[in-house]
Amino acid sequence: MPTGSDSRALYERVADSLRTSIERGELAPGDTVPPEQELAESHGVSRQTVRQALQQLTNEGLLSSGRGRGRTVRSQARLRWRLSHFESQGNHTADADAWANEVQDQGHLPLQEVSVGLEIPPKAVAERLNLDPEKDIVVVRRRLRYVDDVPFQVADSYFPEDLARGTALMQPKNVSVPGGLLASIGRAQTRMVDEIQIRMPTKDESSRLGLPAGTPVAEHMRTGYDADGLPVRVMVTIAPGDRHTLVYELDAS
């Protein structure tokens, strides 16, 4: 029970109480939150205060925004995205690329929309590919990826234009080649550097991926190098936090 020395705002006390119920599993994923009126009565506060508490928990990603219907507790079921393995050569097969195999292995249905463009490289991409953004251009393969028909991640791969020119990398559709597209043109990635930033989505990312309020993303940038140590690709993936667990398996040395 709130005491006189409790400096938290009223709505914070209500939010804390509901959060505890969720953490303990008393309110489970999919459950509908009790009606505002009921919560107002049980906590001895106004409906306006209850609404503030529910908005707070929605911003934290714990509740759906529930327009029209009641708010529900969000599921935190995540697919494991095994980043140290998923682009290994054995994971590229003739009938599916590395990502599709990764999703299928976990019992889900992958789908990718692919488009190809020629662009001036963004600054971060130019730096990593040793390109001059004033005169070099890149081929970008943009993919919107779905799992079980739900938008899942956005993954854009950038290649130096002189590397991609006239190759299968220019095909504006999903292409599956044993060993992967880069291997098929003799430029397989042998070393990769992954850089991960954790942030809130941009408005455009939110709408493309259908992100509920309070859903942060990982911006995952992978730079691939060939056997000669030359950078051959930068892949930028926007991975919503509510749909992914990023997994790395490492040998200590």
Site residues (vs a copy of itself, CB under 8 A) = 16, 19, 59-61, 76, 78, 80, 83-84, 87-89, 188-200, 202-203, 214, 216-218, 224, 239-242, 244-253
Minimal distance, residue 37 CB to a copy of itself, in Å: 25
d(CA 209, CA 146): 9
Query: Closest CB to a copy of itself among 109 and 193?
Result: 193
Query: Closest CB to a copy of itself among 85 and 142?
Result: 85
Minimal distance, residue 175 CB to a copy of itself, in Å: 19
Residue 111 near residue 101, CB atoms below 8 Å? no
Helix, coil or strand: residue 10: helix
Minimal distance, residue 30 CB to a copy of itself, in Å: 18
Minimal distance, residue 183 CB to a copy of itself, in Å: 10
Query: Closest CB to a copy of itself among 87 and 102?
Result: 87
Minimal distance, residue 105 CB to a copy of itself, in Å: 17
Residue 149 near residue 111, CB atoms below 8 Å? yes
Minimal distance, residue 194 CB to a copy of itself, in Å: 4
Tokens of 108: 């889900």
Helix locations, 44-184, DSSP H: 47-59, 98-105, 123-128, 161-164, 181-184
Q: At what angle do helices 36-43 and 47-59 cross, to 10 degrees?
A: 110
d(CA 183, CA 185): 5
d(CA 73, CA 90): 39
Query: Closest CB to a copy of itself among 30 and 216?
Result: 216
Query: Closest CB to a copy of itself among 5 and 253?
Result: 253
Angle at 61 between CA 207 and CA 10, to 5 degrees: 125
d(CA 29, CA 36): 19
Residue 168 near residue 185, CB atoms below 8 Å? yes
Query: Closest CB to a copy of itself among 75 and 76?
Result: 76
